[in-house]
A and B are shown apart, each in its own frame.
Chain A
Amino acid sequence: MIRKTILLLIFSVLLTSCVPYKQLEELGIINTRGVDKIENNQLETTIIAYQFDAQSPEITTTVFGIGNTIKGARENAGYNTNFELSPGQIRLELYGKETAEDGILEYLSTLVRDARVSDTMLVAVSNVTAKEVLTAGQEELMTDVGQLIQSLIEKEVQEYSIPKTSLQNYLRIESDIGQDPVVPLIGLRDKKPAIVGLAAFQNDRLVGELPIDQAFLINVFLTNTKDTPLEITLQREPLSDYIYNNVSDTYQADNPENEDQFTILVKVLKGQGDIKLKNIEDLHFEANIHLEVDLYETSELLSIKDEKIASILEEEMAKEFERQYNVLFAQLQEINSDPFGFGIIYRINKKDGELTDTEWREKFPNVTVDFNVNVDLMHYGTIQ
């Protein structure tokens, strides 16, 4: 028995053979990678990696590599560093605008097939080239730009201002027929990296850029949002009786013809969106959005003594949101990208339940949607 056990032990150790060493301090651990297409169909990668060198206190390093594949480019970048570059800790992959316009699925598939790479890593698109964003930021800020962009995105995702953009999320939405992914668009503002908008995809190809404040409108349909701060501009006219003028100490504005807008900041405590197919022949949808908001700040003093003001505000906000939805939807139809997932609802309601990508691409521009926004003003007077 003992002999058998010992034999079993020896064999099981021998048969597993040697596992390749990946000793931490001998690796250049890729944290952020930028991918750009350059001429001759080649790829240029910008790699921000951690390396632990006893001689140098600096741990982040930026290296560049050119190759025909991502791994080829990584090998090429490896000539620049004495550490073995490995992708196990990659947290952000940033694609250049032109690269993304040609499709990014082939790059993502190598990531998702690598067991070492975490599926929760972020995917983002740059509005210039990835190299430009990553290097310019590095020079300007003297910090790890990769980390910076990650925390920028993570913070916004946590506030539900932009939809989740992990690798797993992207690939799930991408492979769903009838829905398209959106990812944050990273650009340079004052030479510093910032989220400048939302990149709308058609399948895996970048087709358009949406303004960042519209990201919330899309996110309401993707998840139940909580505690999102939002600035919204309303028509001044219906509120004008309640706007307090502290110069003349009256409710009369100085020169109402000059200003026809009134801006408020609200926190959307709860946001829910729901899509219903009303008529399958006409491709007519109804989208119901329910928002519960707190009023935090107004651009001018507003008298909230009168209860009527609450219902006026609710109504005006709903109107404004409906207007924004219509504008956004028209824009999305133009670029033929469907991040809301109308296609999924259509497929569910279709008799055979089958929908091909080309079929939906043909139908989507002809879809009509009624956006019904219902705003509940929960608290006002809170200032934070």
Chain B
Amino acid sequence: MDRLIEQIPRFFTASNVMMLAEAAYMTLAITVVGCLIGFGLALVLVYLRQTPGLWALPLRLVCVTYVEFFRRIPFLVIVYLVLFFIQALTPNASLFSIAVIAICLYAIAYTADIIRGGLESVPQTQVEAARAMNLSRFQTTFMIVLPQAWPVIVPPSIAFAVSFIKDTALVSQIGVFELTFRGKELNNQGYSGVLVFGTIALCYFILSFPLTLLGQHLEKRLATPRGQRHSRKLRRP
């Protein structure tokens, strides 16, 4: 305890605080980039999964299997798999890109279900009207169904990304300079574990908590028809 109090002034130096700020930025950056790319690829996956016809059965099977597998493998194992696989392919790949790829693979599996639920929440009659007007499946999905599904898709996707800020702590294992990695580094330098990991926990809290509240607020607002109309006006003034 005495050691802890004695260390506080030495711990919160300008350089340490700067380093933690940069680490927090790194945590946020890999989460945002990974989840955004993952979201885009999940859209593609869901679109492929909805391909009709018997010939597309293997394709649908692959899409379903992907989602089921990646939801059942620990993120840590995925991180290691991506690390070793990419290193076997290209030894010079940056750790940042490896972390982003791992997050991306994981985010695809989780957001694909959210997106599918959103698309299925739009009445089938909208699809029929579109098809009867000669819109292709691609046009129907991306110009008619998806724009109406955003209020259902966006809030849980944001909630997923926010909760994923915490899970990115695991990429510290491959040496990405994010919060947890810096925490272990400082702990190894002899700073108190309580002090270091308490501070790191606080950093995560500062990143996560406001975004959680924002996500809940968004969910409430988009849940009402008024909110839906409002958000639509925001998109096309």
Note whether A and B form a binding pair: no
